[in-house]
Amino acid sequence: MTDAALVRLTISELAPKIKSKEISPVELTEAALAQADRLQPALNSFITLLHDQARQQAKEQEAALLRGDYHGPLHGIPIGIKDNIAIAGIRATVGSKVLSDHVPEADAYVVSQCKAAGAIIIGKENLEEFAAGSTSNNLHYGAVHNPWNLDHIPGGSSGGGGANVAACVTFASLGTDLGGSVRGPANFCGVVGMKQTFGRVSQRGLMVTSFNGDHIGPLTRSVRDSALMLQAIAGYDPLDPSTVPVPVPDFSSRIGQELRGLNMGIPTNYYFDIMDPEVETTVRQAISALEGLGVEAREVALPSMKYAGALRIAAMADSVVTHEPYLAAHRQDYGPTVLYRTLAGQFVLGRDYSKSLKVQRIIKEEYARVLQDVDFLVTPSSPVAAWRIDAESIVLDGQSYPVRGPGAGMTARCTSPSNATGLPAMSIPCGFTSAGLPIGLQLIGRPFEEALLFQVAHGYEAISPSRGRRPALVDAG
């Protein structure tokens, strides 16, 4: 099989071929590294490529396979890791000049889990500085480019991961999601992004973050691959008090089951209030397609979401505390967008912080009530498709919204609520704009019911207009 054919396969397609020794981890890793080298000048999706380490890991995994020691479906699979997740002995910049020379001493929990599952790490991926934004237009390491149109953003902050998965460089990438930073790139790059229930996956080794709502989650080319990745990284970590000691189910167990008899809630407010017409039309068509699969649609109201803007108050205060030591020693190394947005947190009063947490609790209770009557919610993943890298704002319904800095929260308005509620949410591709840019559909479920979301997403994936499509540059050159 040619390198071009190899890199287009999914994890679930590759796993049985690796297990049977039809494809070797070394062969697959070389194909992925070649694709990375070819596309890095165009995508700028990596901060650090790990050629030597990846080749060594591949040799070790091939030797294990020859011994009959097969570790499971990730055995020999090349993946990427966002550069705010620690790998022992490998520089981790968090996308900032502040940490340009930082080398962690220990692997993040999820990295150790991926290594134990036999995955091959080919590089640390580019991101928005300090994972704080929706563009991945990085001042220090350069902008990441969307493989569907290189003049457009890939989304943020896990933009390198989204671009690599879509461009068939990595077969999966681990990103982080504090306001939609996995689901956003999934939406803009036309791949699958999962933000599982808060507490399902350990945050240990996730650098410079708020621990109130941040998640490490997978970006993949298919729903089945997403389930396989979550299977590898989920589980209770006794050294991370944010994880919950609940059993880890087989996340693939419901994939392939019919959807008839399920109920989906379609919010009548907030999620569709600000929306590009092309995006709304495509999302509504996806909802109709789910109905065609037997899912009953019910309108649901979330009136407390009119207070959603208050959730950012607590996030601002958390951010300034997180950055305090770096601001004291390296303030001059910050990019202006991150600096000004972080410094604003020092003006949050204790009373306002408490009110923000009260709003968070009210919204959580409202979602809990609504999800008693429906099995899951369906919303857009984003109000818009990917905008140009050089854009300073986007216009919807005649109003201009900034895409960076103060006021840029609009671009993540559909994803950020699920970070506050902690509910599992995923973005799956559901079509394209007339300009050929991907559009995503978001599914939101009840706590720890990721398997149900995978069931629904897989059922829709089979009939999605996005199915099987890849950016033209995958096969070019």
Residue recorded with tokens 């022992």: 88
For residue 217, how far is the Cα from the chain centroid? 6
Residue 217 phi/psi, 5-degree rounding, is: -145, 165
DSSP secondary structure letters along 114-130: HHHTT-EEEEEEP-SGG
So which residues are the catalytic ones? 82, 157, 181
The contacts of residue 183 (CB under 8 Å, 6+ apart) are 177, 193, 195, 381, 415, 425, 426, 427, 440, 442
Collapsing DSSP states into helix, strand and coil, what is residue 174? strand
This prediction's pTM: 0.98
Tell me the helix, strand and coil percentages in the chain, rounded to 5: 40, 15, 40
State what percent of residues in the chain have pLDDT above 90: 96
DSSP secondary structure letters along 35-80: HHHHHHHHH--EEEE-HHHHHHHHHHHHHHHHTT----TTTT-EEE
9: left (phi over 0), alpha (psi -120 to 50) or beta: beta
Of 152, 146, 153, 71, which is closest to residue 114 (Cα–Cα)? 71
Average pLDDT, the chain: 97
The contacts of residue 301 (CB under 8 Å, 6+ apart) are 267, 268, 269, 370
Rounded alpha-carbon distances, angstroms, from residue 165 to 7, 221, 320, 355: 10, 6, 32, 40
Give me the amino acid identity at 111: V
Distance in angstroms (rounded) separating the CA atoms of residues 48 and 126: 8
CB 168 within 8 A of CB 222: no
For 302-316, how does the pLDDT look when each residue is reduced to its tens digit (9 = 90+)?
A: 999 999 999 999 999
Please tell me the predicted confidence (pLDDT) of residue 97.
97
For 73-102, how does the pLDDT look when each residue is reduced to its tens digit (9 = 90+)?
A: 999 999 999 999 999 999 999 999 999 999
With bands split at pLDDT 50, 70 and 90, how would you rate the model's confidence at 210? Answer: confident
For 269-314, how does the pLDDT look when each residue is reduced to its tens digit (9 = 90+)?
A: 999 999 999 999 999 999 999 999 999 999 999 999 999 999 999 9
192: left (phi over 0), alpha (psi -120 to 50) or beta: beta
Distance in angstroms (rounded) separating the CA atoms of residues 256 and 169: 27
Rounded alpha-carbon distances, angstroms, from residue 151 to 84, 145, 157, 183, 288: 25, 7, 17, 20, 32
With bands split at pLDDT 50, 70 and 90, how would you rate the model's confidence at 477? Answer: low
